[in-house]
């Protein structure tokens, strides 16, 4: 697979996953969106001003592995 960062992101629709702040206009969110035209490739970005324009890209398999590891390490239950 070519670099995930070579894929165009235009048209991606992002979903917010928020929490850990007081809410309102300063709520901290991680935004996740599927990259259009790619199979199982996603971009993650921070909604805070300091993170504007910075994104990370992962395959579905990479995100799934991260999620499983995070849940286990934190002792969370789904």
What would the pLDDT profile of 15-64 be if each residue is shown by its tens digit? 988 876 666 666 788 999 999 999 999 999 988 888 878 999 999 999 99
Phi, psi of 59 (to 5 degrees): -80, 165
pLDDT value of residue 18? 85
When pLDDT is cut at 50, 70 and 90, the band that residue 6 belongs to is very high
Cα–Cα distance, 38 to 5 (Å, whole number): 12
Cα–Cα distance, 57 to 72 (Å, whole number): 22
pLDDT value of residue 15? 94
Dmax of the chain from CA atoms? Answer: 41
What pTM did the predictor assign? 0.82
């Amino acid at each position: 697979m070519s670099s995930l960062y070579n894929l165009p992101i235009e048209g991606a629709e992002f979903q917010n996953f928020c929490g850990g702040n007081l809410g309102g206009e300063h709520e901290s969110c991680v935004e996740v969106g599927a990259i259009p035209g790619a199979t199982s490739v996603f971009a993650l970005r921070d909604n805070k001003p300091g993170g504007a324009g910075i994104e990370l890209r992962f395959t579905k398999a990479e995100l799934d592995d991260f999620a499983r590891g995070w849940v286990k390490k934190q002792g969370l239950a789904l």
